[in-house]
């Protein structure tokens, strides 16, 4: 880092999407809105564009049918594939020009603790999503940050020849923010 670079320059769109100030204490009505927001969030989390990486299996999945990844690709010790066949050997920083091979920075599987496919109810999915022992020690604010900025999350809305989730990216960002600011509640079932 050069000493003329400004220290801690805010990101172009402001800290955590303008969310750095303290959040208001949620009312009971807010908490109910939060639960409802998560039910829509879950529709995206369960979409193949997310779930193909967020599996508990020892391999990623592919396609809308969520079949096992071809070429015997495996998770490997660090979620980055086998030593001789790393994910980034085929998945580059952007999609291939024909849109067939997905690409985004540091392509890799989500860790086992972030495997969501076996969680059948929205409540179970939400509880894993907010559990700091599973989610990379993220609080609600850090989850918002990840959703807004992580390249692998954004990729789901520029998936090459595949379909993105039905809820648009901006709407999804807004939903997650609403959910977080209204208490980061989990649905009752
Ligand atoms: C190419 C694989 C890949 C895809 C596609 C992907 N993720 Fe992830 N995801 C990861 C990895 C790897 C991590 C762990 C990153 C970390 O902890 O820093 C992660 C972590 C997360 C986390 C933080 C953990 C948690 O439980 O809160 C969230 C939230 C998340 N992803 C949401 C999504 C959503 C939403 C989508 C689809 C719109 C998606 N991801 C698509 C690989 C992927
Ligand atoms: C030998 C090359 C190769 C390796 C290694 C590889 N992939 Fe792939 N991957 C592909 C190709 C090609 C496709 C597109 C397949 C198609 O749709 O026809 C693909 C598709 C995918 C998809 C499907 C996206 C979707 O939503 O349908 C995911 C997820 C994925 N790979 C994750 C990974 C992960 C994670 C690793 C490392 C553990 C990995 N891949 C290793 C070549 C590879």
Q: Cα angle at 42 between 37 and 48, to 5 degrees?
A: 150
Predicted confidence (pLDDT) at residue 18 exceeds the cutoff of 60 = no
Give yes or no for residue 119 CB within 6 A of ligand 1: no
In a domain, 142, yes or no: yes
Predicted TM-score (pTM) of the model is 0.92
In a domain, 6, yes or no: no
What is the Cα–Cα distance from 96 to 30, expressed in whole angstroms?
A: 43
In a domain, 111, yes or no: yes
Nearest CA to ligand 1 atom 14: 110
155 - beta bridge partners? none
Q: Which residue has the tokens 């990844």?
A: 69
pLDDT tens, 117-152? Answer: 999 999 999 999 999 999 999 999 999 999 999 999
* Mean pLDDT over each residue of the chain, to the nearest integer: 91
The number of the ligand 1 atom at minimal distance from the alpha carbon of 41 is 35
pLDDT tens, 173-184? Answer: 999 999 999 999
What is the Cα–Cα distance from 51 to 146, expressed in whole angstroms?
A: 16
In a domain, 14, yes or no: no
Q: How far is the CA of 68 from the centre of ligand 2 (A)?
A: 10
Give the tokens for residue 183: 């208490």
Q: Which pLDDT score is estimated for 81?
A: 98
- For residue 132, the tally of other CB atoms under 10 A from its CB is 10
The tally of domains found in the chain comes to 1
pLDDT tens, 48-91? Answer: 999 999 999 999 999 999 999 999 999 999 999 999 999 999 99
In a domain, 93, yes or no: yes
* 115 or 13: which leads in pLDDT: 115
Give me the domain span that covers residue 89. Answer: 27-181
DSSP 15-66: GGGGT-SPPPPPPHHHHHHHHHHHHHHHHHHTSHHHHTTS-SSSS-EETTTT
Query: How far from the centroid of its chain's Cα atoms is residue 56's Cα?
Result: 15
- Stated as kind and residue range, the H or E segment containing 68 is strand 67-68
Q: Which pLDDT score is estimated for 119?
A: 97
In a domain, 71, yes or no: yes
In a domain, 131, yes or no: yes
Q: Which pLDDT score is estimated for 19?
A: 65
Give yes or no for residue 42 CB within 6 A of ligand 1: no
In a domain, 37, yes or no: yes
Q: How far is the CA of 59 from the centre of ligand 2 (A)?
A: 10
């Amino acid at each position: 880092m050069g000493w003329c670079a400004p220290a801690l320059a805010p990101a172009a769109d402001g800290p955590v999407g303008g969310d750095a100030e303290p959040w208001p204490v949620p009312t009971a009505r807010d908490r109910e809105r939060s639960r409802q927001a998560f039910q829509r969030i879950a529709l995206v989390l369960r979409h193949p564009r997310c779930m193909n990486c967020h599996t508990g299996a020892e391999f990623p999945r592919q396609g809308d049918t969520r079949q096992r990844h071809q070429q015997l690709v495996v998770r490997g010790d660090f979620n980055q594939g086998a030593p001789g066949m790393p994910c980034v050997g085929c998945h580059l920083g952007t999609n291939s020009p024909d849109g067939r091979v997905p690409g985004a920075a540091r392509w890799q599987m989500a860790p086992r603790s972030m495997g969501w496919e076996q969680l059948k109810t929205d409540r179970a999915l939400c509880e894993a999503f907010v559990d700091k022992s599973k989610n990379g020690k993220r609080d609600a604010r850090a989850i918002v940050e990840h959703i807004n900025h992580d390249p692998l999350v954004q990729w789901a809305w520029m998936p090459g020849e595949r379909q993105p989730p039905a809820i648009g990216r901006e709407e999804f960002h807004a939903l997650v923010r609403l959910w977080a600011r209204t208490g980061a509640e989990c649905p009752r079932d």
